[in-house]
Amino acid sequence: MNERRTHQINKLLHTELSGILQRNFYGEFKGALISITEASISPDMSYAKIYISIFNFDKPNEVVDYLNSHQKNIRGILGNKISKQVRKIPELTFFVDDSVEKIFKLDQHFKDNRKED
């Protein structure tokens, strides 16, 4: 599959899954803000890795485990939305993306070091 099509599918997955999580799973984790940071589809379009950031929730792995256990349901909803745009609905695997948290910690570290100077 060419690079442009891969990028289009990744963007489509990102957009549609964001909406699905907002509409269908908003109340599952009270106070948690779940954001998809990246969607990455395999070259054969069979699998997709979905990276999420989770804010205001102490146990992000619980969210990921929950989403992975409901993967078939999420995939079904996704299929209803994008079936005319792709031939195959990929199997989804969710992962915690802690890069935003790492950046925040680094930023705090640098701010703390500036105060000492």
Rounded distance, CA 98 to CA 86, Å? 30
pLDDT digits (tens, 9 = 90+) for 56-84: 888 888 999 999 999 999 999 999 999 99
CA–CA distances in Å: residue 114 to residues 80, 100, 117? 52, 21, 5
Fold of 3-116: GMP Synthetase; Chain A, domain 3 (3.30.300)
pLDDT digits (tens, 9 = 90+) for 3-57: 899 999 999 999 999 999 988 887 787 778 888 999 999 999 999 999 999 888 8
* Alpha helices, DSSP H, located in 25-70: 60-69
- Domain positions in the chain: 3-116
Q: Which residue has the tokens 């890795």?
A: 49
